[in-house]
Amino acid sequence: GGSIISMSFIGSMLAVPHYHVMGPAKASLEASSRYLAKEVGPDNIRVNVISPGAIRTLSSAGIKDFPELMRVAGEHSAMKRTATQSEVAQTAVFLASEASSGITGQVIYVDCGYSIMAN
């Protein structure tokens, strides 16, 4: 058994400015994770993806106009803020634990409800 966790971004399903190279790659990662979940499921291996919203990281620093993206994401999310690195990390800990033993093949959005909003 075990758990495989990948990281994605909402750019996998929505057109995000300056993300046209990584968006399709993240969409492919999410689809591949679903197929892998089916393949390794009989071995009791779970495969899930975490899709954080706009969050400050080393890689996000390279996205053009990222501070504006953070501001807009916070304003347009259901919780009126962006998620923290700690919230994303806690989700990963949960998905790696036995508490998530029945969860596989899923994309978990940790974005304070940004992905559910009609912006």
Q: 26, 35, 64, 114: which one is catalytic?
A: 26
Question: Which tokens hold the place of 109?
Answer: 């959005």
Q: 19, 38, 109, 114: which one is catalytic?
A: 19
Using a 10 angstrom Cβ sphere, with 0-12 exposed, 13-18 middle and 19 or more buried, the burial of residue 62 is exposed
What gap in Å lies between CA 34 and CA 40, rounded to an integer? 10
**φ, ψ (nearest 5 deg) of residue 69:** -60, -40
**Known catalytic residue at 26:** yes
**Known catalytic residue at 19:** yes
DSSP string, 64-86: TTHHHHHHHHHHHSTTSSPPPHH
Q: Which residues are catalytic?
A: 19, 26
